[in-house]
Structure 1
């Protein structure tokens, strides 16, 4: 149980581990934990849409794919030109202390090898999460997001993810909440229930 406690603290480090690519994008910030959460939600969605993949397996791959970064940090594409991290050592050292260590090792190997249907979808979920972040910062005026987007799309493995990427890129990232109901945004009421009142009484 103490080893599990250590593991949970280690996973907590991901909340404090920044995704470093945003340094080069010029705006934005995200922890590895934040990235992994939305990746898992995307992976679940892709697996359900796919209809043939093991949904639980895709979720597991998404949740665990960046756990080694608690020990290694997040190396972006510039870093990786010059720094070679020993990810396998980080995986093996953690696995040696987990009651499900072999399963953890197999999970990371499956994600890295990218051979199974589930791994392909998990990889695509990882990239789609980045594409969503790029679109959010594009909508806030970051012109470099347009330059990064084609490279992220080229990393996608499935037609399903490529279709979704296109839809993401042409969707305003605020439309899910800012729905154009002007009465609501002025009065906090819909349609016929909207009543204007003097500023000093609101």
Structure 2
């Protein structure tokens, strides 16, 4: 039980581990945990759109894909030109302590290899999460988001993810909650309409 408690504390570190690429974008901030959460929701959705994908496996890959960053930190594309994190060691050191360590190790190896249908979907979910963040920052006025978008799109492997990226980029990120019921926005209560 002690190893599991330590694992949960380690995963909690991801709430305080920043995604570092946004410093180059010039705006925005998110933790690795926030990124993982939305990536898992996106992965679940993409897997449900695919009749042959194992939804549970996609979720597992999405949930674990950045857990090693609790030990290595998040290295953005600039950092990766100069710094090499020993992710394999980080994975192995944690896997040795977990009763499901073999499953954890296997998930990270499958994600890294990107050879299975589920791994491709998980990778696409990871990129779509970044595309969503870029769109949110673009809608708030960050002009550099347009420059980053084409590179993220080129990383997408599945056709549904590519179509979804186009839709995301054409959708106003702040309008999902705003409907056509103008009186609601004036009075705020349905019983007063």
Coarse TM-score class (shorter-chain normalised): over 0.9
Q: Partner residue of 2:105? A: 105
Uncovered stretches (5+) of structure 2, i.e. residues with no partner: none
Q: Partner residue of 1:67? A: 67
Q: Partner residue of 2:48? A: 48
Distance 1:19 1:42 in 2: 18
Q: 1:10 deviation in Å?
A: 0.3
Q: Partner residue of 1:34? A: 34
Q: Partner residue of 2:57? A: 57
How many residue pairs match? The answer is: 193
Uncovered stretches (5+) of structure 1, i.e. residues with no partner: 195-202
Normalized against structure 1, the TM-score is what? 0.93
Instruction: Provide the aligned C-alpha RMSD in A.
Output: 1.1
Q: 1:180 deviation in Å?
A: 3.9
Distance 2:156 2:17 in 1: 25
Q: Partner residue of 1:172? A: 172
After superposition, give the CA deviation of every residue in 1:88-126 in whole Å (9 maximum; x if it has no partner). 000011111111111111100000000000000000000
Alignment of 1:179-198 (within 5 A): 179-189=179-189, 193-194=192-193
Q: Partner residue of 1:147? A: 147
Distance 1:193 1:40 in 2: 39
Q: Partner residue of 1:163? A: 163
Matched, 1:82 2:82: yes
Q: Partner residue of 1:14? A: 14
Secondary structure of 2:77's aligned partner: coil
Distance 1:171 1:50 in 2: 23
Distance 2:143 2:79 in 1: 22
User: 109-118 or 174-183, which moves further after superposition?
Assistant: 174-183
Q: Partner residue of 2:126? A: 126
Q: 1:178 deviation in Å?
A: 1.7
Distance 1:127 1:72 in 2: 20
Q: 1:179 deviation in Å?
A: 2.0
